[in-house]
Every structure is written in C-alpha cells, then in structure tokens.
Amino acid sequence: MGNNDENAPHADVVFMGAARVGKTTLVHRIMCVDSSLALEGRYAPTVEDSYIRQFLAGETSCRLRLVDTAGGYEFPAMERLWIKRASAFVLVCSRDDPSSLVHLRNLLNRIKNERQCDLKRLLLVLVMNKCDLHMKEWMIPDEDLELLADEYEIPYRSIVFTSALNQTGVAQIFKMLWEQNEESGTRVIKFEPRTSAAEINRRSSAFAVLFGNVQARVAQKMSPNNAGRPHTGSFGDNVLPATRRFQSTSSTSPSWVVKTFGRINLGGKTRMKQRYPPAAIDLNCAIS
C-alpha cells in the first residue's frame, strides 16, 4: 500500500504455525469475530486471511494488519513473502500435537535464514495454545517449548500460554510484542499523532500506552507453571472479552479503543468486506 493511504497498516503481525493449532481462532478472538464453527470442531483450513485494526490510545494511533496464514506447506511462496515482510511474528503450537512443535522449529530455521539476523532482534512470541485441555491430553510439556526457546536464544518471557476456547492469555501476546518493541529501541511498530495539533505526552510510547498507569489499576493474577519458570504462565481470568459494543474511554483509560477496517481475504474466493462493531480490549496487566 502507498504511504498516502490513510488506512495502510503501520505494521504486519503474522500468525504462523501448523494446521489445527488454533491460529485462526486466536485472531478471531482479537478481532471479536464469531469463532463458533472452529470452537465446535468444524475445521476449515485457512489459505490466508488478513485483518486491519486500528488501535487508538489517547492522542496516538496505530494500525496493525493481523495475518492468519495457512498451516500446511501448500503455499511456500506466500510463507516466504510474509517471513520477509513481517514486522512481528506470533508462532503457535498446540498442547496436544507434538508435530506442531517440530513445525515451529522448521519455521524458526526458515525465519532465521530468510531474515539473516539473530532471532533476538525480531519481535517474536512463541504461543502454546489449547491450554484448556486436561493435563492427560497434554503432549507437549512446558520444558519442550523452553528447550526450543533455548536453542534459538529466545527468552522464556516471550513464551505465552493461551486458550482460544476460553480466551485466556490472548491479550498477553500483544503485551509481549509491545514490550519487545519498546525494549528493542527500533520501534518497528510505530504510533502516530491522531491530530497534528495534539501535543503527545512523552509517555505515549507503545509501552506506556499498553500498560498505562500501573498504580491506578488492579494487577492481573498470573498462574506460573509448576516449576515457577520466568515465562508468562497462564492467566487465571479472561483478559480479552467477548464481542461488545463500543465503550467511551478517556486518554488515561486502561483500554484501547479499537476500530475495525474490515476483513481482506487474500486467498480463495473473493468475499465482501465486513465491518465489525467497535470494541474495547481491556489489558489489566501490571508491569512485572
């Protein structure tokens, strides 16, 4: 898209992983899109779907393109394209599928080779999905994902445990991306003034926008894994609410006011763009 397109995204957040790990449902949860078919077990393979959402925070604004990629190997050219273009990576595996962890290792190798840089320099989150499953169904223990992170020198805190089914830990994905974005110093994801006349507070960086005033909000309790490792663990309460109507917020509100510019389907049949009702994403996460 050209720079003069007011709806052009500031950054591309690409969700990658094996088939059936829950990438589409995670994206739908973020976008407040109906995921009933997937949650009922009626699986429909994704070719590629792209969503653009605007995040408004105080006097700043950011538009992200969330890219839901195919889980198989049928479209290598599309995969290479997004590996080259991605501003941030969300790599998803599933608790009940050991092969999905092998798929992540292959993805990490391809990303490292294609980008020709240390993975620590990229905005990248490893997601273990389907943590709502009974422990008897767990086929990937925490330690296996940690070993993969060690192999590629990815910090444990970049590991996020989620359940797309009950919406647990979904917002934590963005918490980690924004924390990495702030700490990297490169600001791959940039916020811009909503109005040229507005005076932007110095703390309106992506990090400050995400966490806001920590003292003014209740910290979200996290349940660490049994070994107490320093990754994110699993949230005990839902962080990302279900679809709801727009709620007005002030510039100091702990919410992001979100507007949707509709869905763009880049693969398969052409579909009509659909506008979804605005929603607020509450991020009740304290800085650790």
CATH of the domain at 183: 3.40.50.300
Is residue 257 included in any domain, yes or no?
Answer: no
Among 217, 236, 234, which residue's Cα sits nearest to residue 225? 234
Is residue 93 included in any domain, yes or no?
Answer: yes
Give the separation between CA 146 and CA 148, rounded to whole angstroms: 5
Is residue 211 included in any domain, yes or no?
Answer: no
Is residue 235 included in any domain, yes or no?
Answer: no
Q: 222, 119 in Cβ contact below 8 A? A: no
- Checking if the pLDDT of 265 tops 60, the result is no
Mean pLDDT of the chain: 68
pTM listed for this prediction: 0.68
Is residue 31 included in any domain, yes or no?
Answer: yes
Span 96-121, mean pLDDT?
93
| Predicted local distance difference test score (pLDDT) of residue 234 | 40
Is residue 284 included in any domain, yes or no?
Answer: no
Is residue 179 included in any domain, yes or no?
Answer: yes
Is residue 2 included in any domain, yes or no?
Answer: no
How many domains does the chain fold into? 1
- Ranking 41-50, 141-150, 163-172 by mean pLDDT, the lowest is 41-50
Residues ≥6 apart with Cβ < 8 Å to 105:
148, 151
What separation in angstroms does the CA of 151 have from each of 23, 28, 145, 285?
Answer: 23, 31, 10, 29
| Predicted local distance difference test score (pLDDT) of residue 231 | 46
Residue range of the domain that includes 94: 11-193
